[in-house]
Structure 1
């Protein structure tokens, strides 16, 4: 029923192009004659470095209780999911300091950083960071300043930058073969330490026709004749993901008088302030259906795989830009900007669905978008969005996490991680 209602709504209001991405499903044996990893295609994989673990005790100071905004988000997710609130609170102690540090680590040490996450029930007992090499004395000293204990798991086969480049190469190569590939996506499995390449073939495409296509994608991902990490190939024929299509974040953006998307966080670019939204949204957007408030000629990333665009606030008529965004019945002021760690709680606001929360299941993925591809995508465990939410803010407490991209109906939502704003738009989210 929900899928039918979503389809009917999309016929009434245009929300953007269809986005086809693969789901974060468990690995399954490849059917027929499709081989199941890079080695089976005869593609060489770089040897992984030696692995180990370093445990660092955090000695930094942190508030005894989480701030009110973060507690509201955790309480909202606990009620929706049935999870124990006290366990969520324990797992998120020091979350803002930890996520700010791991985001900085990814920016300043891109050849070392891989992934980061928070403890979950039945899993990790401490905040964790996965790296390619053993942490230096400088990094250990920085970790000691955090208010949480950290487990550094070194010896990962590839850095976050190499993984992002590999995912981009794989999906770009498959996107060029729309004659046999309907959808494809690539994301790193930090537990198995492999890249998962998921695909769905077009109609009755013969299995024998897919071998050379996938081989070509694997070859495109090599550097110096080797892949930086092994690639596992998985078939995924599940339902597709679709986009859901004083200036503040979380407000309605319209075109031709109809709601199309949701404004995200506000930002500064090239000396101008304005608002972010999804790149897949139309250009000629009006803020709250009012002309002359934001530019109808947005700035887009040079890399068209990044789902962000920036609309400058037009100040000639006295318009200004606030650091606030919508979160439920309140406006919050951004006080931090950081990518979300794995398994951390994250919430969003969209003009169609309002305020809701989930947890992060996968980060920094690339997925094909009906012959195109989006990258820098984070996935959640639940689908908490709908058509018209595109571009809206994702956050935890007062920390900006990303902008809404889309969802697979009834399964999960997708947002573009906030770190891509600075890297690809040369913009900075406004914050106190």
Structure 2
């Protein structure tokens, strides 16, 4: 087999996969938790918010760079809060943009389909500490909450989805739950934050083969993930 031959030649494990699939960014669609209107077409689109970040003075929320710049946060009661566009990084190994808004009290993220369960971010899981076979979850505005195994740690989406060709830095997670509108959503396990969803690989019948995310290791400087500070209780037992 080709993978066995390449393993013998390189001295490291190699797996060859022939994919009859199409890679796409999980572009925004109308109506959702992050809402915006395309100034050119006038159509409404959606994406999913990711994690809270800070730069030392400001607090922001992440989503995918290929989402609209002008977005509002739609809370579970369907109240809209306009967000201020801060910056966008969307090339090579990046697909993230940051919006500023009213500073929340805690770094929480929704971890269920109905947006009734909020978890605090307690730790960041780095890419070097992630392994194929790890079980991770994501919450997307289109597909809700789901979990699956990490399949690849050095995936390079085909085509020019990264402001040009993508670098092999993306982490791929098995389907079958991914759709347009999930872009920017949080990837996590328990209260550990892994990354934000960029896009997905779809089969010819339109079903989701796997999705891929940007590790939080690649947040742009000086922005860092906000983490819940444990409450220390003192006094006599």
Aligned to 1:415: 213
Choose which of 61, 69, 76 in structure 2 pairs with 1:283: 69
Which residue number in structure 1 is paired with residue 109 of structure 2? 325
Counterpart for residue 33 of structure 2: 252
SS in 2 for 1:373: coil
Equivalence for 2:139: 349
Report the TM-score when normalising by structure 1. Answer: 0.41
Matched position secondary structure for 1:419: helix
Shift of 1:379: 0.7
Shift of 1:391: 0.2
CA distance in 2 between counterparts of 1:325 and 1:385 reads 19
Distance 2:60 2:82 in 1: 10
* Structure-2 residue corresponding to 1:336: 123
Distance 1:381 1:237, change over 3 A: closer
Larger radius of gyration: 1
- Tell me which moved more, 387-396 or 277-286: 277-286
Following TM superposition, by how much is the alpha carbon of 1:331 offset from its aligned partner in structure 2, in angstroms?
Answer: 0.7
CA pair 285-425 structure 1, distance change in 2 beyond 3 A: farther
Q: After the TM superposition, which parts of structure 1 deviate over 4 Å for at least 4 consecutive aligned residues?
A: 26-29, 234-237, 289-292
Question: How far has the Cα of 1:338 moved from its partner?
Answer: 1.1
Q: Distance in 1 between matches of 2:146 and 2:22?
A: 22
More strand by share: 2
Q: CA deviation at 1:28?
A: 6.7
**1:356 & 1:265 partners in 2: Cα distance?**
17
SS in 2 for 1:367: coil
Give the structure, 1 or 2, with the largest relative contact order (CA under 8 Å, sep 6 or more). Answer: 2
Equivalent residue of 2:89, what SS? coil
CA deviation after TM superposition for structure 1 residue 416, in Å: 1.0
Aligned residues: 199
Q: Which residue of 2 aligns with 1:382?
A: 175
* Structure with greater helix percent: 1
Relative to structure 2, which stretch is displaced further, 366-375 or 335-344? 366-375
Q: For the residues of structure 1 that align with 2:90 and 2:49, how far apart are their CA atoms?
A: 21
CA RMSD of aligned residues (A): 3.0
Question: 2:65·2:97 contact (CA, 8 Å) conserved in 1?
Answer: yes
Structure 2 gaps, min length 5: 38-42, 203-207, 229-237
CA gap of 1:364–1:270, structure 2 versus 1, over 3 A, is farther
Post-superposition Cα deviations, 1:94-123, rounded to whole Å, max 9, x if no partner, equal: xxxxxxxxxxxxxxxxxxxxxxxxxxxxxx
Shift of residue 365 of structure 1?
3.0
What whole-Å deviation, never above 9, does each CA across 1:314-345 have from its counterpart, x for those lacking one? xxxxx223400010140101001113332110
1:237-289 deviations in Å (ceiling 9; x for gaps) = 612122212xxxxx711112734210000100252101001112121222228
